[in-house]
């Protein structure tokens, strides 16, 4: 036979809101659908909720008077959790992708890394590009800065510069952030050729005549 002393009841979860008989105030401000909003004695507020088959939920205990909502409490909790999940989804973590160069990176390697950066930016990631100076290559720091500025210029349609090249120890770093999708989605209107402009002018003259 199991020892009853070793049996533990699961902890009871506390409700985030006081409801119905748990609300201790003498009067409350009532809000909700299908109710006349205003200040009511607590007994009357409970009665209004009861007649609708709903709960009286305290939503703002520190207000004067405290505010209560007439609602289905389980549905109220579900909507609250849903809002919290939506807020967390909006607060997405910022992902930073790093791209490393040498001070004398050749064109083939540069273009390969440039294509990678374009893909990262299109996916909404930030790009941290840096030139690593090994040993005496620190003497070429000016070349490193020129390379990073060229990199930012080649990506100007997709990215904005968050921080200009800065030397930190043996690294010179630049930070790029993706431009808003609306900016990328804009299409440039094709310019009219001289022949098209001439045809348009002739057409306008004929209409005037």
Tell whether 142 and 101 lie within a shared domain: yes
Tell whether 102 and 79 lie within a shared domain: no
Tell whether 65 and 41 lie within a shared domain: yes
No. of helices (H) and no. of strands (E), the chain: 6, 8
Span between the terminal Cα atoms of the chain, in Å = 110
pLDDT of residue 154: 94
Task: Flag whether 165 is in a domain.
Answer: yes
What does the alpha-carbon distance between residue 82 and residue 85 come to, in Å, rounded to a whole number?
5
Task: Flag whether 117 is in a domain.
Answer: yes
pLDDT digits 0-9 by tens, 34-51: 899 999 999 999 999 999
CATH number at residue 157: 3.30.110.10
Q: Residues near 62 by Cβ (< 8 Å), separated by ≥ 6?
A: none
Task: Flag whether 184 is in a domain.
Answer: no
Tell whether 70 and 118 lie within a shared domain: no
CATH number at residue 29: 3.10.20.80
Beta bridge mates, 128? 98, 175
Tell whether 144 and 119 lie within a shared domain: yes
pLDDT of residue 159: 94
The domain boundary, picked from 48, 83, 118, lies at 83
* Number of domains present in the structure of the chain: 2
Tell me if the pTM is above 0.75.
Answer: no
pLDDT in tens, the chain (209 residues): 445 455 555 555 668 899 999 999 999 999 988 899 999 999 999 999 999 999 999 999 999 999 999 999 999 999 999 988 887 776 667 789 999 998 888 999 999 999 999 999 999 899 999 999 887 767 768 888 999 999 999 999 999 999 999 998 889 999 999 988 634 444 444 444 444 444 444 344 444 44
What does the alpha-carbon distance between residue 59 and residue 67 come to, in Å, rounded to a whole number?
6
Task: Flag whether 205 is in a domain.
Answer: no
The domain boundary, picked from 83, 112, 128, lies at 83
The answer to whether residues 176 and 121 touch, using CB atoms and an 8 Å cutoff, is yes
Tell whether 61 and 108 lie within a shared domain: no
Task: Flag whether 60 is in a domain.
Answer: yes
Order of strands, sheet of 126-132, starting from the edge strand that comes earlier in the sequence:
96-101, 126-132, 171-178, 159-168
* The two three-digit tokens of residue 69, written as one number: 């909502």
Tell whether 105 and 130 lie within a shared domain: yes
Q: Which domain holds residue 143?
A: 96-178
Task: Flag whether 136 is in a domain.
Answer: yes
Tell whether 76 and 47 lie within a shared domain: yes
* The two three-digit tokens of residue 102, written as one number: 């040498």
């Amino acid at each position: 036979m199991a020892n009853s002393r070793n049996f533990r009841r699961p902890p009871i979860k506390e409700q985030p809101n006081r409801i119905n008989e748990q609300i201790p105030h003498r009067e409350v401000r009532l809000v909700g659908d299908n109710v006349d909003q205003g200040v009511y004695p607590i007994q009357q507020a409970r009665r209004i909720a009861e007649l609708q088959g709903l709960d009286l939920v305290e939503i703002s205990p520190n207000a004067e008077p405290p505010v209560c909502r007439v609602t289905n409490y389980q549905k109220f909790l579900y909507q609250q959790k849903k809002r919290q999940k939506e807020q967390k989804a909006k607060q997405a973590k910022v992902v930073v992708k790093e791209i490393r160069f040498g001070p004398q990176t050749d064109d083939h390697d540069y273009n390969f890394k440039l294509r990678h950066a374009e893909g990262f930016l299109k996916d909404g990631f930030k790009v941290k590009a840096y030139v690593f100076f090994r040993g005496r290559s620190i003497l070429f720091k000016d070349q490193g800065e020129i390379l990073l500025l060229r990199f930012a210029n080649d990506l100007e349609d997709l990215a904005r510069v968050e921080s200009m090249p800065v030397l930190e120890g043996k690294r010179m770093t630049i930070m790029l952030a993706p431009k808003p999708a609306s900016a990328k989605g804009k299409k440039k209107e094709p310019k009219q050729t001289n022949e098209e402009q001439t045809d348009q002018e002739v057409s306008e003259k004929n209409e005037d005549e």
